[in-house]
Chains A and B, each alone.
Chain A
Amino acid sequence: KQEVTQIPAALSVPEGENLVLNCSFTDSAIYNLQWFRQDPGKGLTSLLLIQSSQREQTSGRLNASLDKSSGRSTLYIAASQPGDSATYLCAVSRGNQGGKLIFGQGTELSVKP
């Protein structure tokens, strides 16, 4: 049974700091991994999707990496801003179950001005 873990559960950093969020999964037979952010009272916003054959994806100040063999992914946020404050979730899917995502519990990020 696939399990996804995110550590830490909460993180507080000063504005401008670079930071890394971690995601680990127990079954390496994934098809892709997706990172989302969720603002309070809102749905999820897709940030990055990494296919199992890829090692990383970048979008603006965000960079996500994937190491299937070790069951790990990281989300790197450069030059953090107060607007980055949100809960960040990672989710994995298997190839034959495209619509079924298995989520971690999330990391609640607070960026202080």
Chain B
Amino acid sequence: KAGVTQTPRYLIKTRGQQVTLSCSPISGHRSVSWYQQTPGQGLQFLFEYFSETQRNKGNFPGRFSGRQFSNSRSEMNVSTLELGDSALYLCASSLGHSNQPQHFGDGTRLSIL
């Protein structure tokens, strides 16, 4: 069974640009969550999508947005990039029930110059 796939693995952007990251969940999983990981703040929750609807949202500015498609694949978009957005962005999928574990992809490493 294929795991969670995130593309691309690495991205380099400049300030002010925008970026779109992609996440393909494990087959059959309907929930996709996104996290930002930085050395200073650790892992922070961005948002969760379930059946194409945003179910939970973290405390990030509106520049961070996402969506989920009917096949459960999800995209995350960050507009007007700032230096502080440099991070490892991780996606996790699950069946969507609170008693089920989340399974993570290897992440997208985003560097802002």
Contact = CB atoms under 8 A, between A and B. Distances in A.
Interface of A: 31-32, 34, 36, 41-46, 49, 51, 89, 91, 93-106
B56 A43 contact: no
Interface in B83-103: 90, 92, 94, 96-103
Contact of A42 (B42, B103, B106): B106
Contact of B99 (A36, A46, A51): A51
A98 B31 contact: yes
A98 B101 contact: no
Q: Give the top 10 A-B pairs by smallest Cβ distance, nearest first.
A: A99-B48, A98-B98, A43-B104, A103-B43, A44-B104, A99-B33, A43-B106, A100-B56, A46-B101, A49-B101
A38 B45 CA distance: 17
A34 B48 contact: no
Interface of B: 4, 6, 31-33, 35, 42-45, 48, 50, 55-56, 58, 90, 92, 94, 96-107
Given A42-B106, A43-B104, A43-B107, A99 B90 contact: no
Contacts of B103: 46
Nearest to B55: A99
Contacts of B90: 43-44
Given A45-B104, A106-B42, A100 B58 contact: yes
Contact of A98 (B4, B35, B58, B94): B94
Q: Which residue of A34, A42, A43, A49 has the most chain B CB atoms within 10 A of its CB atom?
A: A43
B39 to A, nearest CB: 10
A99 B66 CA distance: 15
A32 B99 contact: yes
A97 B56 contact: yes
Contacts of A32: 98-99
Contacts of B104: 36, 43-46
5 contacts: A98-B98, A99-B50, A99-B55, A101-B35, A103-B42
Contacts of A102: 45
A89 B58 CA distance: 19
B99 A101 contact: no
